[in-house]
Each structure stands twice: as structure tokens, then as C-alpha cells.
């Protein structure tokens, strides 16, 4: 029996969901959750695999996913650990500092449940990051999924002190086809591995060869983004920062917005430069709202009208 058509563009998103606790409010977040929500709002069919406690945050999560038309098949329940939380402090330049709590439900993603949901979904694209691999239980689930799935794999090198090690980052790179990281994260890798030379382009070229990567994307904040793609006539493609009528309020979730649109480009086979420019434009627009996710789906309409037109 053939699968319904919507499965043809399905995506598996693995990792943490947590509440971003600001001085005056609390909102659901976490890079994988943010990416999954953006993809759903853009009309894709993401399966989000994570784990929550039996608490009010879980109920809020389920209600949010239902409003977006997302399946909750991959969201496990943990009777012993709470839904994740992170304290967020903003500085006067729109930057943010995180204090991530340890021993949270997303550290205990069950392998058997994750595999069952993933096999049923049959994804074409597998997204994962580094934070959910900080604990051995969820790291085991990630390894099992990576071994089972034969689709394109995209890693977000999302380093949050002190919850990462060089070994985990290297394993993540080795498990990937496409990698996205910030310039600061690339600089960290260049020091720790170390990578040869003194120029970011040389570091990325070495990484791509060492880990057999098909594409490496580097975000540079207000300076936009660029990518390295081995074997292409134009190996390095630069994209300027996106423009928006909105003033910058904060930069929380900008990288997740960028990644979601890059994933759309992979699925819809957009040209690389177009994909980069669209990802930058959407990330810039997200910087014009408070927090990582828009309050309603009308935010996405102008992008959908242009991209699907």
C-alpha cells in the first residue's frame, strides 16, 4: 500500500523542546522545536521527536502543535523528569545569554519509541543538533535513528556552554551530509581540532573533506551567511543579510528560522543562492519580533506568496 502524498516531503526533527524563561514571561522554544514549527507553518509535514514531562508545559506544547496541524506521534512522556527549561537574559544590543537546566526530559528520549515513529514517517530529511546529545540516553536514540534512516541528514552545530564536547561535535559532523553553524562555532572548531590556515573558507574546505560533507552553511549574524559546496564551479556562495521593514527587537531564533528555510530549499530543490537569500530574509524578519516564533501564521503569508507564486 502506497503512502499518502504528504509523506513524500516529510521531515524528521530530533531534539530538545524547552521553555525559554524570560524575566517577564515563559515561551516554548528550543532549536529543533522552533525549526519544526516553522516548517509546519510553511506547509511541510515534520515529525518532531522529543520528550517532555507530565506537566503543564507538555499540555501547552501539544496544544501548540495541534494548532499548527502537526502530529504529536513523536513527543514522548517522561514520568520522572520535567519538560526542559532555560533561563534567558537579554542585553542592550538584542543579544541573549542562556542558562540551560540539566537532567530534563529531553535528555531521556527512548530509542524504541523514536525508531517506531521514524520508520512510520519515512522522512526524506533528518534534522538534529548537539544539545540533545549531551546525555547518553538521548545520544543513544540519535545514533539508532542515524543508523536506521537513509535520508539526507542536516546537523545544526548549536553549541551551548557547558553542554557540549569536541567528541560529540565530531560525531555529529561525521553523521551529517549538510551542516549549519555560526561563524563563532566555526572559529571554536578551528581552535579545537585544529583546522589549518587562518581563513574561514580554508577551515570549511578542510571540514568538508575530513567529514565528507556535501554542504556547509555559515551564518554571520548581521553580515548574512555563506556556504561551501565541494565540487561546484562556484564553491563559495555569499548572501547578504535579509531586509525587513521591522526594526530588530531580538535575535533569538534567527538561526532556527534560517535553518528551516534552508531545509525548504533542499526539499523543493531551490538553487543554492536563492535558498541562502530566502533563508537570510526570513531570519531577518524573525529578528523583528519578540522571541523565536511568530504569534500567528499570518507572519508567514508574505513569504509563502512569493515562494509559491
Q: What is the pLDDT of residues 123-136, one digit of tens each?
A: 999 999 999 999 99
Closest CA to 48 of 77, 73, 23, 84: 73
Residue 4, pLDDT score: 40
Q: What pairing do the DSSP bridges indicate for beta strands 125-129 and 152-157?
A: parallel
Grid cell listed for 199: 581563513
If pLDDT is split at 50, 70 and 90, which confidence band does 51 have? very high
* Mean pLDDT value across residues 57-73: 96
Weakest mean pLDDT among 92-101, 133-142, 198-207? 92-101
Supply 94's cell numbers: 538584542
Query: Rounded distance, CA 174 to CA 167, Å?
Result: 11
Nearest alpha-carbon partner for 234 in 273, 196, 179 = 273
Cβ(157)–Cβ(184) below 8 Å: no
Beta sheet of 236-239, edge-to-edge order = 75-78, 45-53, 10-14, 125-129, 152-157, 178-182, 215-219, 225-228, 236-239
Q: Does 232 have pLDDT greater than 80?
A: no
Q: Which pLDDT value is given to residue 252? A: 87
Place of cell 531577518: 284
Please give the residue that has the higher pLDDT: either 38 or 221: 38
Q: Give the whole-angstrom CA distance, residue 173 versus residue 177.
A: 8
CB half-sphere exposure, 28, CA atoms < 13 A? 22
Among 87-101, 146-160, 191-205, 287-301, the range scoring the smallest mean pLDDT is 87-101
What pLDDT score was predicted for residue 5?
Answer: 43
pLDDT of residue 235: 75
Q: What's the whole-number mean pLDDT along residues 253-276?
A: 95
Band (9; pLDDT cuts 50, 70, 90): low
Residues whose CB is less than 8 angstroms from the CB of residue 306 and which lie 6 or more positions away in sequence, other chains included: none
HEC states along 197-262? CCCHHHHHHHHHHHHCCCEEEEECHHHCEEEECCCCCCCEEEECCCCCCCCCCCCCCHHHHHHHHH
In the block, cell 564551479 appears at 233
State how far the alpha carbon of 15 is from the alpha carbons of 68, 91, 218, 271, 303, in Å: 19, 27, 21, 28, 26
Percent of the chain that is helix, strand, coil (3-state, to 5) = 45, 20, 35
21: confidence class by pLDDT, cuts 50, 70, 90:
confident
Share of the chain above pLDDT 70, in %: 93
Residue 147 CA, distance from chain mean position = 20
Give the position of cell 499570518. 298
Per-residue model confidence (pLDDT) at position 134 = 97
Check: CB of residue 200 under 8 Å from CB of residue 218: yes
As a whole number of angstroms, the distance between CA 22 and CA 89 comes to 6
Amino acid at each position: 500500500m502506497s503512502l499518502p502524498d504528504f509523506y513524500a516531503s516529510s521531515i524528521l526533527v530530533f531534539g530538545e523542546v524547552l521553555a525559554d524563561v524570560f524575566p517577564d514571561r515563559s515561551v516554548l522554544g528550543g532549536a529543533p522545536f522552533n525549526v519544526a514549527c516553522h516548517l509546519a507553518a510553511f506547509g511541510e509535514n515534520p515529525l518532531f521527536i522529543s520528550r517532555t514531562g507530565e506537566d503543564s508545559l507538555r499540555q501547552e506544547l501539544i496544544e501548540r502543535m495541534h494548532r499548527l496541524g502537526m502530529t504529536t506521534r513523536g513527543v514522548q512522556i517522561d514520568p520522572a523528569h520535567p519538560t526542559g527549561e532555560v533561563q534567558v537574559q537579554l542585553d542592550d544590543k538584542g543579544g541573549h545569554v542562556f542558562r540551560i537546566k540539566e537532567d530534563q526530559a529531553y535528555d531521556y528520549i527512548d530509542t524504541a519509541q523514536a525508531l517506531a515513529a521514524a520508520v512510520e514517517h519515512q522522512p526524506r530529511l533528518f534534522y538534529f543538533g548537539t544539545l540533545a546529545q549531551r546525555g547518553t540516553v538521548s545520544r543513544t536514540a540519535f545514533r539508532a535513528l542515524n543508523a536506521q534512516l537513509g535520508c539526507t541528514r542536516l546537523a545544526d552545530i548549536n553549541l551551548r556552554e557547558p553542554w557540549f564536547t569536541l567528541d560529540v561535535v565530531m560525531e555529529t559532523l561525521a553523521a551529517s551530509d549538510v551542516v549549519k553553524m555560526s561563524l563563532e562555532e566555526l572559529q571554536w572548531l578551528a581552535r579545537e581540532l585544529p583546522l589549518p590556515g587562518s581563513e574561514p573558507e580554508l577551515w570549511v574546505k578542510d571540514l568538508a573533506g575530513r567529514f565528507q560533507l556535501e554542504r556547509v552553511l555559515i551564518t554571520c549574524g548581521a553580515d548574512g551567511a555563506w556556504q561551501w559546496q565541494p565540487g561546484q564551479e562556484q564553491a563559495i556562495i555569499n548572501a547578504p543579510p535579509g531586509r525587513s521593514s521591522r526594526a530588530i527587537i531580538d535575535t533569538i531564533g534567527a538561526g532556527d528560522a534560517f535553518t528551516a528555510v534552508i531545509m525548504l530549499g533542499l526539499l523543493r530543490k531551490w538553487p543554492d543562492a536563492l535558498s541562502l537569500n530566502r533563508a537570510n530574509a526570513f531570519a531577518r524578519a524573525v529578528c523583528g519580533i519578540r522571541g523565536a516564533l511568530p504569534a500567528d501564521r499570518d507572519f508567514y503569508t508574505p513569504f509563502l506568496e512569493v515562494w509559491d507564486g
